[in-house]
């Protein structure tokens, strides 16, 4: 984990509920949704299985709560870190660094959200998560469109460009580890600097 | 599936073994490793569960066979499609198109391999798969290094550049579907064209 502590409003910031989420995220990230049982979660928290049901209806609710919390935090960070920036290139980098900050501060939440959203069955939760993910990708597209309009970037396929950056960031969930050589933010920033060169207008044109 | 039919040498090209692999790959891709039972596989093939054990020791063996077959095919395609190409930019594009070809021709095998290699427990199989994956990534790095040496690409972080391209290709396993608007090859080619602009020497230099 890192410095970020998820707050679980539905439990009124109840610390036991938060602990259940935190331990569950670690288990989901390590063993997958199917590979994690309520018994595993109870054992990790050090409580009886029945006590979990005071806070969550079932494993699916714990899982989708983690995914929503992670996406909420991601969206919040991305907005915060763009504040005050003018150039589209700086804003794209801030977007990527914010994404990386969330990976670094809470890898288990991020990994659960990045790799496990397909596991969400509940239709309302699925739709909400899809909206949040779409909104997140759309935010990056908006920055790139601003860059094109300002003449900072050339005319390009905005959807493709946003997806290339998000692919790099998301794929980090498969290989980046906190004890690796480079920080998540450093890698994210390097990716953006590399890819964004392809966004620049051709000086010959 | 597509046109590619995996051959399973260990079973002497036995068609029943191939069918078990094919149906298992579909199940692993759709429901994950933990979400697939030997009973599910037997039902999909239309045989008794006991019959599977004539060909495979257990579910883990079926799974790692699929991963190895997919990586073998991927490596083969990447080599084939580079043949006769000179420019590094063309070779990088051929690499990405070959990767996309494998996604398109056999999505279930590819998805099982791209998303499920962490599930491999057997140490020898794990090491083999890791070697194949490293070799695959190293092949792309080699092309990029050739491009730098030839002056076609600027001096850049080869590891980062290769990883950016592979991230885009791998992340396609999370969202690309055969019934989508663009072919896998078209998307792969577009990614490479976008990212490779960032590899070009700065004309001002």
Q: pLDDT digits over A78-126, tens only? A: 999 999 999 999 999 999 999 999 988 888 898 888 877 777 888 999 9
DSSP letter string over A53-89? TTT-SSHHHHHHHHHHHHHHHHHHHHHHHHTT--SHH
Architecture of domain B58-199: Orthogonal Bundle (1.10)
Give this prediction's pTM.
0.86
Residue A205: predicted pLDDT: 45
Minimal C-alpha gap between B198 and chain A (Å) = 4
Judge contact between A4 and A105, C-beta under 8 A.
yes
- Among candidates B164, B172, B194 on the partner chain, residue whose Cβ is nearest the Cβ of A161: B194
CA–CA separation, A135 and A129 (whole Å) = 10
For residue A138, name the pLDDT band (cuts at 50, 70, 90): very high
Identify residues of B whose CB sits under 8 angstroms from chain A CBs.
Answer: 32, 34-35, 156-157, 160-161, 163-164, 166-168, 170-172, 174, 187, 190-191, 194-198, 200, 203-204
Residue A33: predicted pLDDT: 87
How much is the average pLDDT of B172-183?
85
The C-alpha angle with vertex A62 and arms to A166 and A112, in degrees rounded to 5, equals: 25
CA–CA separation, B71 and B170 (whole Å) = 13
From the list A119, A116, A90, the residue with the least C-alpha distance to A173 is A116
Residue holding tokens 């920033």? A189
Residue A6, pLDDT above cutoff 70: no
Structure tokens belonging to residue A52: 């979990």
Residue A179, pLDDT above cutoff 90: no
Judge contact between A66 and A27, C-beta under 8 A.
no
Question: CA of B80: how far to CAs of B4, B72, B85, B101, B137, in Å?
Answer: 15, 12, 10, 12, 16
Residue holding tokens 């198109």? B97
* Start-end of H helices in B47-150: 49-52, 59-82, 88-105, 107-116, 123-149
Instruction: Give the ipTM.
Output: 0.84
CA–CA separation, B111 and A173 (whole Å) = 16
Encode pLDDT of B12-71 as tens digits: 456 889 899 999 999 998 888 888 999 999 999 999 999 999 999 999 999 999 999 999
- Among candidates B156, B170, B195 on the partner chain, residue whose Cβ is nearest the Cβ of A171: B170
């Amino acid at each position: 984990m890192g410095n970020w502590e998820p707050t679980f409003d539905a439990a009124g910031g109840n610390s036991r509920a938060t602990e259940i989420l935190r331990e569950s995220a670690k288990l989901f990230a390590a063993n997958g949704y199917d590979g994690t049982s309520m018994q595993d979660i109870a054992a990790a928290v050090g409580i009886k299985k029945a006590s979990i049901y005071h806070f969550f209806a079932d494993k699916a609710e714990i899982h989708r709560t983690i995914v929503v919390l992670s996406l909420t935090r991601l969206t919040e960070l991305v907005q915060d870190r763009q504040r005050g920036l003018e150039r589209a290139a700086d804003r794209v980098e801030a977007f990527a660094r914010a994404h990386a900050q969330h990976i670094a501060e809470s890898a288990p939440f991020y990994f659960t959200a990045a790799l496990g959203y397909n596991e969400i069955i509940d239709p309302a939760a699925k739709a909400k998560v899809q909206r949040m993910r779409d909104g997140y990708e759309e935010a990056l597209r908006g920055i790139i469109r601003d860059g094109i309009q300002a003449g900072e970037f050339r005319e390009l396929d905005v959807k493709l460009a946003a997806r290339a950056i998000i692919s790099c960031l998301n794929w980090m969930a498969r290989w980046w580890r906190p004890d690796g050589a480079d920080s998540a933010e450093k890698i994210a920033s390097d990716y953006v600097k590399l890819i964004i060169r392809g966004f620049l207008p051709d000086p010959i044109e």
